[in-house]
């Protein structure tokens, strides 16, 4: 009875992650055409959302999340009505049946421990696909992959590397959800240590390791994105509640083709243009479109704006549709630009330059893109090892980052000044 087809297995794997749920729907539509020979008319075509399903950045970034961080013990955004919570859960997640069935347990947890129910539901998706995988379905009722130091009342597993894990067993799902709230509110690592945001909690709950160097970042990104979907399902705008990074901060509302404006501590105001939005999104650039190829000149437009130069990405694209040398482009506007490869520069040099009040443009791979390289501006140093990334190609991988993260897959740095 446990034998499944390859088709079913692949669909289930895609549906288990918030980052690939849309792609599961796309696969279903493709199989419908292939297996049944069906022609998709316009209405069916719209139902499967082909028109906005395939956007290159959706494959490397989670749509619908926000810049900054979310305070999960801020009661002003607690959903306290059971039916509203059920509507949020049902509308924000394609496999929400178990979430909806246990909505009251999430409300009880929220009431007792002051841990946002929407946050908890989102974590359960990140960890066990909302009770449909892992230790949620092996008799543990453990939707959050909660471990314990003792083998008593626990399910023990051993990793390929010999690491022993004791997964807590709960009598009921309600108990498991309550234990998550207790862990966050009363445990030794979160509220009691002043960690109230998704970002701070995620760095401890699912920390980066040598073996998995970006898992905390991915956990935070996926959880924030899922929270935004739940709130959107009931028409609640959470963007005013998202904390902006420390330092200057976003001071202006977004518009057609830009995220907003960002003002640094020393008074430079940048327009945070986006390559994947606005009137230029689908326009030709370098063999593709601005949406999937325009990060370089969009980054230049962002940095120019901080020097009072009013040039948007489309202005540059119109002049150089086949591409342009960025150093020459920047210098054509009267600025200085020094280009250094990763072997010619250092993290400290980047911080020193930012501390003069001048930006850099980074070209990096790895965490920042699934392609060979991605350009994005870094606008200021925020103190310590933190810098502000204005990512022109992502709604999520933007905001405050450590210089280590910016530098880890670095290929090239453009140092810009007056």
Structure confidence by residue, pLDDT tens digits, 366-412: 888 766 689 999 999 999 899 999 999 887 788 889 999 999 888 99
| 327 domain residue, yes or no | yes
Average pLDDT over residues 316-335: 93
Q: What is the pLDDT of residue 43?
A: 41
Average pLDDT over residues 233-255: 63
Mark whether 264 and 403 lie in a shared domain. yes
Region of residue 129 (phi > 0: left; psi between -120 and 50: alpha; otherwise: beta)? left
Q: Could you tell me the pLDDT band of residue 260, with boundaries at 50, 70 and 90?
A: confident
Q: What is the pLDDT of residue 64?
A: 29
Mark whether 218 and 254 lie in a shared domain. no
Cα angle 347, 331, 318 (rounded to 5 degrees) comes to 110
Q: What is the pLDDT of residue 406?
A: 93
> Where is average pLDDT lowest: 95-109, 155-169, 193-207, 285-299?
155-169
Q: What is the pLDDT of residue 54?
A: 33
| 38 domain residue, yes or no | yes
Residue 135 has pLDDT above 90, yes or no: no
| 172 domain residue, yes or no | yes
Mark whether 157 and 181 lie in a shared domain. yes
Pick the last residue of a domain from 222, 242, 262: 242
Pick the last residue of a domain from 242, 274, 297: 242
Nearest CA to 109 out of 195, 173, 170, 153 is that of 173
Residue 181 has pLDDT above 50, yes or no: yes
Residue 296 has pLDDT above 50, yes or no: yes
Q: What is the pLDDT of residue 365?
A: 85
Residue 177 has pLDDT above 90, yes or no: yes
Number of domains observed in the structure of the chain: 3
What percent of the chain clears pLDDT 70, i.e. is strictly above it? 81
Residue 2 has pLDDT above 90, yes or no: no
Q: What is the pLDDT of residue 47?
A: 39
Average pLDDT over residues 207-227: 77
Q: What is the pLDDT of residue 34?
A: 61
The span from the CA of 74 to the CA of 79, in Å, is 11
Mark whether 191 and 258 lie in a shared domain. no
Mark whether 48 and 79 lie in a shared domain. no
What's 244's DSSP letter?
P
Mark whether 145 and 164 lie in a shared domain. yes
Residue 124 has pLDDT above 90, yes or no: yes
Residue 360 · residue 349 · CB < 8 Å: no
Mark whether 22 and 99 lie in a shared domain. no
Residue 110 has pLDDT above 80, yes or no: yes
Q: What is the pLDDT of residue 35?
A: 61
What percent of the chain clears pLDDT 90, i.e. is strictly above it? 47
| 61 domain residue, yes or no | no
Which CATH number covers residue 337?
3.90.70.10
Mark whether 356 and 299 lie in a shared domain. yes
The span from the CA of 222 to the CA of 74, in Å, is 20
The span from the CA of 277 to the CA of 292, in Å, is 11
Q: Could you tell me the pLDDT band of residue 18, with boundaries at 50, 70 and 90?
A: very low
Which CATH number covers residue 183?
1.10.530.10
Q: What is each CA distance from 274 to 148, 300, 304, 383, in whole angstroms? A: 44, 11, 14, 26
> Where is average pLDDT lowest: 213-222, 237-246, 350-359, 373-382?
237-246
The span from the CA of 68 to the CA of 199, in Å, is 9
Mark whether 156 and 269 lie in a shared domain. no
Residue with token string 């210098």 = 331
| 314 domain residue, yes or no | yes
The beta-strand segments (E) located in 232-285 are 242-243, 250-252, 258-263, 269-273, 284-285
Please spell the DSSP secondary structure of 207-237, one letter per residue.
Answer: ---SSSTTHHHHHHHHHHHHHHHHHHHTT--
The span from the CA of 17 to the CA of 23, in Å, is 10
Mark whether 264 and 222 lie in a shared domain. no
Pick the last residue of a domain from 242, 258, 273: 242
Average pLDDT over residues 347-354: 97
| 201 domain residue, yes or no | yes
Higher-scoring residue by pLDDT: 392, 139: 392
Show the tokens assigned to 161: 């590397």
Show the tokens assigned to 200: 């701070």
Domain span at residue 129 reads: 69-242
Residue 361 has pLDDT above 90, yes or no: yes
Show the tokens assigned to 80: 């306290």
Q: Could you tell me the pLDDT band of residue 59, with boundaries at 50, 70 and 90?
A: very low
Residue 62 has pLDDT above 70, yes or no: no
Residue 171 · residue 191 · CB < 8 Å: no
Q: What is the pLDDT of residue 215?
A: 78
| 1 domain residue, yes or no | no
Residue with token string 């696909």 = 129
Average pLDDT over residues 132-146: 87
| 304 domain residue, yes or no | yes
Backbone angles phi, psi at 260, to 5 degrees: 165, -165
Residue 249 has pLDDT above 60, yes or no: no
Mark whether 224 and 248 lie in a shared domain. no
Mark whether 155 and 169 lie in a shared domain. yes
């Amino acid at each position: 009875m446990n034998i499944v087809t390859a088709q079913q297995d692949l669909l289930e794997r895609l549906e288990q992650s918030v980052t690939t749920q849309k792609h599961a729907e796309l696969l279903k539509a493709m199989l419908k055409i292939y297996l049944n020979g069906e022609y998709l008319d316009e209405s069916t075509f719209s139902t499967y959302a082909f028109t906005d399903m395939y956007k290159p950045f959706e494959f490397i970034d989670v749509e619908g999340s926000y810049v900054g961080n979310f305070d999960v013990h801020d009661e002003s955004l607690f959903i306290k009505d059971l039916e509203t919570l059920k509507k949020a859960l049902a509308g924000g997640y394609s496999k929400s049946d178990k979430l909806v069935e246990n909505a009251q347990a999430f409300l009880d947890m929220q009431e007792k421990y002051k841990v946002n129910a929407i946050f908890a539901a989102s974590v359960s998706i990140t960890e066990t696909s909302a009770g449909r995988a892992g230790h949620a379905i092996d008799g543990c009722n453990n939707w959050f992959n909660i471990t314990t130091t003792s083998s008593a009342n626990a399910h023990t597993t051993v990793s390929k590397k010999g690491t022993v894990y004791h997964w807590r067993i709960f009598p009921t799902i309600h108990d498991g959800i309550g234990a998550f709230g207790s862990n966050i509110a009363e445990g030794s690592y979160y509220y009691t240590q002043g960690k109230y945001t998704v970002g701070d909690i995620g760095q401890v709950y699912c920390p980066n390791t040598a073996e998995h160097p970006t898992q905390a970042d991915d956990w935070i990104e996926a959880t924030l994105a899922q929270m935004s979907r739940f709130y959107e399902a009931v028409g609640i705008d959470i963007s005013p509640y998202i904390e902006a990074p420390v330092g200057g901060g976003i001071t202006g509302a977004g518009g057609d083709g830009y995220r907003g404006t960002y003002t640094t501590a020393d008074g430079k105001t940048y327009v945070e243009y986006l390559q994947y939005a606005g009137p230029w999104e689908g326009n030709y650039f370098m063999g593709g479109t601005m949406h999937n190829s325009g990060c370089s000149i969009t980054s230049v437009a962002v940095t120019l704006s901080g020097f009072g130069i009013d040039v948007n990405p489309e202005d540059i694209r119109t002049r150089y549709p086949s591409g342009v040398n960025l150093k020459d482009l920047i210098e054509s506007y009267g600025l200085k630009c020094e280009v250094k490869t990763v072997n010619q520069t250092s993290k400290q040099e980047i911080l020193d330059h930012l501390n003069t009040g001048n930006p850099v443009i980074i070209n990096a791979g790895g965490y920042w893109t699934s392609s060979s390289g991605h350009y994005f501006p870094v606008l200021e140093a925020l103190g310590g090892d933190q810098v502000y990334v204005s990512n022109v190609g992502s709604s999520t991988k933007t905001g405050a980052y450590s210089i280590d993260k910016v530098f880890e897959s670095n290929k090239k740095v453009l140092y810009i000044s007056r």
